[in-house]
């Protein structure tokens, strides 16, 4: 048991790191996420089937097989990141089909090995204990608890301190220790004889309480419901946690800890249940399914209300819901699988069904439903599906028609409460998650667009929030510059002829509108990961014309993946109003590897202009990869050629600058003239390469491996603060005075 607990630690650590590494290579749009997650689940399912087949072979020493599997996982783990990067180079610029096939081929080996361990050890323990539920519950609990510990360790210190390569090396070392220890135990103690196995088969109880043919689809449906809820919970908790990288690991840690606790309770229950009382377990399973669904449904609105006090209060609710789900699988196995020489094989089929259901649940919810339904409607649909499953099992467990009718009546009442109570429970859930302790009764979003790629929202003051984090303001007025528009307006200051421009990240469209209306710009290519922003832009006059501008073409894709798949594209200027450096996956657009990729897409004399959000690490990385750089507010312009700030050229361009036919600055107006003078007075003092390097020399360069500041628990940078007032909010710049 102890060794299986330890082996659960590296398994989840691999998953966190490998997913992260593959997202950096192939992008983090929904297609990449779906492929990678599905491959993980497919490998576990195939491994379960393989482990089940091995476990039923009477002459196979199961402990030795388990030890060899652990060693195999460790060997793959130690070379995994290098293999991923080699595969990235091999598939560079390839099709989605080719990339997906390569990912499948790469991940199937280790995930299949991981999936095989539970059936193998279950059969080994059943041979000793003759109790399926106790064996499955104990193994399921300790292995899941080890995985939960890995999630917490990754969130708190491992990823921040050791990065991807260090975390993988630690995981591989643990695999090696477990494998060698198990092999030593195998050779020190001889396994059970054939007589013991035959005796076990003879002692097996006559028939299961739950038909195996019924247990299989039930295991699949509970997996689908469980993963469906997890996707919704992650969306909500990520918003409450301000989109930080540890959000996923923390949520998954509590999710798995709950499952482990439920499985441990189930283990105790199964030890006390005699063969004659097995029929009652069907009723227990039904009640656990109903309770888990009801609790899982309530977790979402509870997150919205509890976020006002502290985001950490949301997580124990996840554990309570998953504890009920965690008890379901061992109970189901105990009720449907005989404790004989085929126990491991039977478990493998149930485990495979559960994994297939989990995969389908995550796909349907995350890939399909999130594009057509709101989070409230999806939660109601999942809850009703789970309640219906539990009700059907509950009715089937009763022999009395009167008791069956009573049970179904209670289930109907629960379903009515779920559907009828959804509107007040989910009222302004996104506003609550985003505002947290500053939420006011009058705070309501003007627009909310939910897609599988995220949640985009606009406040009454035209602030744009993506995933619960400030993304900008829908404003193109340089005089009343509440969103620091002097930065995109400054292009002609540092580039003489910006004819072709690539914009990575559209958001509310203000920056892209400014760039597309630039007098010198002839073509603008935009790459945006969330199509929901397009719906928002069409509604607001300040940016609506962007959608009809013939100079503008928009691609819905991950920016990094688009660059890899378009190796021949070259631009005079590449612009990215990059999100806060501490947000999840932000270092994918700030790392030295990404800057090298950008470098290959710049024309001679080309400039990359991006928002560092005042991160010293991001600024140092920029002027290390590129020999020349200059700061414009919180943005850094970098190039392989010297950057000359030409104020006179900029003055000429800004004088003829118009947006939708209206001059940006009318120099006949005193207010506009004052603003113009104020702007040009600031630029000669902009900080350049040598000073940036000297000021940040103690910082570290951001890489894909160390992930910058994403996993550090530091307060948001001071360059942009959202100061929430009663019922409204505004962006307040802390850049040098005079730039506003």
pLDDT class of 185 with cuts at 50, 70, 90: confident
Q: What is Dmax (Cα atoms) for the chain?
A: 101
Nearest to 711 by CA among 625, 598, 568, 583: 583
Tokens linked to 687: 């900080």
Is residue 200 pLDDT above 50, yes or no? no
Q: Is the pLDDT of residue 714 over 70?
A: no
Q: How far apart are the first and last CA of the chain?
A: 63
Contact 583, 712 (CB under 8 A): no
pLDDT-wise least confident of 117-131, 221-235, 277-291, 382-396: 117-131
CB distance 451 to 535 below 8 Å: no
- Residue 241: what pLDDT? 93
Confidence band of 19 (pLDDT split at 50, 70, 90): confident
Angle at 21 between CA 16 and CA 23, to 5 degrees: 95
| pTM for this prediction | 0.88
d(CA 532, CA 321): 31
Q: Look at residue 5 and tell me whether its pLDDT is greater than 50.
A: yes
Q: Kindly state the tokens that stand for 29.
A: 């749009």
Residues 6+ apart with CB under 8 A from 526: 502, 503, 506, 512, 552, 553, 554, 555
Number of H helices and number of E strands within the chain? 27, 15
Mapping DSSP onto H, E and C, the string for 193-235 reads CHHHHHHHHHHCCCCCCCCHHHHHHHHHHHHHHHHHHHHHHHH
How far is it, in rounded angstroms, from Cα 14 to Cα 257? 18
Tell me the C-alpha distance between 319 and 152, whole Å. Answer: 14
Average pLDDT over residues 279-302: 84
- Tally Cβ neighbours within 10 Å of residue 400: 9
Name the band, by pLDDT with cuts 50, 70 and 90, for residue 29.
Answer: low
pLDDT for the residue numbered 287 = 84
The token pair at 456 is 């985009």
The segment with the largest mean pLDDT, out of 202-216, 218-232, 309-323, 533-547, is: 533-547
More confident call, 52 vs 366: 366
SS3 142: helix
Please tell me the distance from the alpha carbon of residue 5 to that of residue 1, in angstroms, as a whole number: 6
Task: Write b or e for each residue in 275-309: b if 16 or more Cβ atoms lie within 10 A of its Cβ, otherwise e.
Answer: eeebeebbebbbbbbbbbbbbbbbbbbbbbebbbe
For residues 432 and 305, the answer to whether their CB atoms sit within 8 Å is yes
Asked if 507 and 471 count as a contact pair (C-beta separation under 8 A), the reply is yes
pLDDT at 508: 95
Distance CA 593, CA 596 (A): 5
* 687-708 mean pLDDT: 95
pLDDT, tens only, 298-338: 999 999 999 999 888 889 999 998 988 777 777 777 777 77
Write the CB contacts of 93 (distance below 8 Å, at least 6 apart in sequence). Answer: 564, 565, 566, 567
Q: Is the pLDDT of residue 233 over 90?
A: yes
- Domains of the chain, residue spans: 2-425, 463-733
Rounded to whole angstroms, how far apart are CA atoms 640 and 628?
Answer: 6
Per the CATH hierarchy, to which homologous superfamily does domain 463-733 belong?
Vaccinia Virus protein VP39 (3.40.50.150)
DSSP single-letter state for residue 546: G
- Across 510-661, where does the E strand assignment appear? 523-528, 552-556, 571-576, 602-611, 628-632, 635-639, 658-659
Q: Does position 218 have pLDDT exceeding 60, yes or no?
A: yes
Q: Residue 228's closest CA among 375, 341, 107?
A: 375
Please name the helix (run of DSSP H) or strand (run of DSSP E) that holds residue 580, with its range, or none: none
d(C-alpha 615, C-alpha 195), whole Å: 68
Please provide the average confidence, as pLDDT, over all residues in the chain.
84
Question: Which one has a higher pLDDT value, 462 or 37?
Answer: 462
Minimum mean pLDDT among 87-96, 173-182, 384-393, 715-724: which range? 715-724
**What integer is the mean pLDDT of 385-402?**
79
CB within 8 Å of 186: residues ≥ 6 apart: 61, 63, 64, 67
Beta bridge partners of 552: 524
pLDDT greater than 90 at residue 705:
yes
Backbone dihedral angles phi then psi of residue 639, each to the nearest 5 degrees: -160, 160
**Architecture label for domain 2-425:** Up-down Bundle (1.20)
Residues 429-475 pLDDT 10s = 999 999 999 999 999 999 999 999 999 999 999 999 999 999 999 99
Lowest mean pLDDT, pick from 29-38, 320-329, 392-401, 403-412: 29-38
DSSP, residue by residue, 699-735: S----TTT-TTTTS--PPPTTEEEEEETTEEEEEE-S
118 versus 170: which is more confidently predicted? Answer: 170
pLDDT digits (tens, 9 = 90+) for 653-666: 988 999 999 999 98
pLDDT at 128 over 70: no
Given a contact cutoff of 8 angstroms between Cβ atoms, the answer to whether 136 and 130 are in contact is no
Are the CB atoms for 574 and 526 separated by under 8 Å?
Answer: no
Q: For the beta carbon of residue 725, count every other beta carbon within 10 angstroms.
A: 11
Q: Let me know if 340 is exposed, middle or buried by CB neighbors in 10 A (0-12, 13-18, 19+).
A: buried
**Closest residue by Cα to residue 222 from 380, 330, 369:** 330
Judge whether residue 673 has pLDDT over 90. Answer: no
51: β partners = none
């Amino acid at each position: 048991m102890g060794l299986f607990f330890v082996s659960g630690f590296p398994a989840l650590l691999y998953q966190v790191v490998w997913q992260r590494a593959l997202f950096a290579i192939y992008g983090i749009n929904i297609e990449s996420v779906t492929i990678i997650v599905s491959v993980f689940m497919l490998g576990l399912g195939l491994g379960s089937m393989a482990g089940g087949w091995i476990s039923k072979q009477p002459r196979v020493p199961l402990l030795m097989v388990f030890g060899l599997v652990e060693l195999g996982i460790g060997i793959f783990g130690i070379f995994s990141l290098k293999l991923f990067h080699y595969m990235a180079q091999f598939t560079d610029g390839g099709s989605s089909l080719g990339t997906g096939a390569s990912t499948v081929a790469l991940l199937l080996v280790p995930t299949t090995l991981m999936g095989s361990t539970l059936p193998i050890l279950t059969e080994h323990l059943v041979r000793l204990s003759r109790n399926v539920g106790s064996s499955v519950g104990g193994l399921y609990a300790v292995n899941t608890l080890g995985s939960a510990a890995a999630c917490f360790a990754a969130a708190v210190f491992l990823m921040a301190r050791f990065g991807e390569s260090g975390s993988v090396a630690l995981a591989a070392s643990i695999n090696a220790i477990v494998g060698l220890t198990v092999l030593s135990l195998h050779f020190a103690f001889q396994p059970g004889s054939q007589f013991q196995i035959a005796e076990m088969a003879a002692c097996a109880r006559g028939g299961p309480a739950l038909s195996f043919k019924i247990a299989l689809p039930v295991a699949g449906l509970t997996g689908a419901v469980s993963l469906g809820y997890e996707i919704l919970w992650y969306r909500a908790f990520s918003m409450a946690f301000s989109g930080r990288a540890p959000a996923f690991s923390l949520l998954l840690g509590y999710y798995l800890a709950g499952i482990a606790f439920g499985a441990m309770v189930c283990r105790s229950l199964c030890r006390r249940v005699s063969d004659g009382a097995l029929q009652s377990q069907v009723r227990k399973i039904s009640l656990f399914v109903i309770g888990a669904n009801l609790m899982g449904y309530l977790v979402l609105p509870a997150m919205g209300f509890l976020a006002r006090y502290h985001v950490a209060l949301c997580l124990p609710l996840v554990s309570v819901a998953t504890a009920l789900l965690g008890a379901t699988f061992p109970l189901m196995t105990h009720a449907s699988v005989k404790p004989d020489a085929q126990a491991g094989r039977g478990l493998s089929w149930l485990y495979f069904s559960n994994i297939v259901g989990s995969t389908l649940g995550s796909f349907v919810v995350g890939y399909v439903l999130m594009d057509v339904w709101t989070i409230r409607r999806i939660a109601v649909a999942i809850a009703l599906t789970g309640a219906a499953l539990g009700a059907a099992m509950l009715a089937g467990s009763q022999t009395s028609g009167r008791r069956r009718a009573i049970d179904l009546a209670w289930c109907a009442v629960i379903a009515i409460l779920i559907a009828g109570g959804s509107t007040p429970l989910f009222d302004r859930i996104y506003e609550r998650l985003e505002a947290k302790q500053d939420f006011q009764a009058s705070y309501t979003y003007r627009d909310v667009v939910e897609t599988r790629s995220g949640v985009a929202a606009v406040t009454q003051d035209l602030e744009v929030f993506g995933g619960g984090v400030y993304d900008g303001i829908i404003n193109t007025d340089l005089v009343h510059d509440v969103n620091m528009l002097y930065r995109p307006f400054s292009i002609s200051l540092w580039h003489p002829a910006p004819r072709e421009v690539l914009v990575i990240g559209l958001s509310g469209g203000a920056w892209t509108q400014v760039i597309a209306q630039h007098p010198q710009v002839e073509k603008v290519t935009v790459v945006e990961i969330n199509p929901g922003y397009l719906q928002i832009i069409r509604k607001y006059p300040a940016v609506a014309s962007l959608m009809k501008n013939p100079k503008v073409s928009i691609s819905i894709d991950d920016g990094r993946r688009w660059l890899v798949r378009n190796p021949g594209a070259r631009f005079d200027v590449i612009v990215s109003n990059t999100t806060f450096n501490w947000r999840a996956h932000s270092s994918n657009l700030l790392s030295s590897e990404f800057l090298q990729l950008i470098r290959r897409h710049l024309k001679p004399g080309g400039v990359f202009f991006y928002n560092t959000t005042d991160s010293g690490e991001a600024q140092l990385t920029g002027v290390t990869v590129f020999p020349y750089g200059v700061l414009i507010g919180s943005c850094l312009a970098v190039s392989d050629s010297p950057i000359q700030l030409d104020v006179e050229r900029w003055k000429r361009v800004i004088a003829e600058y118009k947006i939708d036919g209206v001059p940006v600055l009318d120099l006949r107006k005193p207010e506009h003239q004052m603003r113009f003078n104020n702007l040009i007075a600031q630029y000669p003092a902009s900080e350049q390469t040598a000073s940036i390097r000297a000021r940040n020399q103690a910082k570290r360069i951001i890489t894909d491996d160390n992930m910058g500041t994403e996993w550090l628990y530091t307060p948001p940078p001071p360059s942009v603060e959202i100061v929430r007032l009663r019922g409204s909010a505004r962006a307040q710049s802390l850049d040098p005075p005079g730039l506003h």
